[in-house]
Amino acid sequence: MDIELMNWTAVITGTIAAFGLGMVWFSPLMFGKVWALGSHNIQAPEKPPVLAMVVQFLGTAVLALVVGITETDQAIMTAIGAIVAVALFVAGMDLFSQKSGKATLVDAGYVLAAGALMILAQGLF
């Protein structure tokens, strides 16, 4: 991997786009209600969960970085494999914690959609 060849614009854009997608994805406008019901009826917190958002942003940035590295090495299928693996890990954890099938699909689907945005950013920038 040659870090100088990394498309940092695409990595940053992919990170921001995927994180923004999460804000919409889990909102009541999209899948938030179904997700909350299937996640043991989670209620919206009184204050924003800052630590959770920071951890989510860091995870999103690291996944976008992995996509950027694989694009630099012309191994985008490795990124696709990593994205699918993360989605399966999330689905497994959800099912173990007894979330509903719908909530599990919302969580794993977000990982797949976020990964697709990251790959798209690599193609556009």
Cβ atoms 21, 111 nearer than 8 A: no
CA–CA gap between residue 21 and residue 27 (Å, rounded): 10
| Other Cβ atoms within 10 Å of 73 Cβ, number | 13
Residue with tokens 């999330």: 90
Expressed as residue numbers, the domain containing 69 is 3-41+48-124
Tokens of 88: 């399966």
- DSSP assigned state of 42: P
Residue 35: per-residue pLDDT: 94
Residue 54: per-residue pLDDT: 97
Tokens of 24: 């919409």
The mean pLDDT values, 10 residues at a time, for the chain of 125 residues are: 85 97 95 93 83 96 95 92 97 97 98 98 94
Closest alpha carbon to 70 in 61, 80, 57: 80
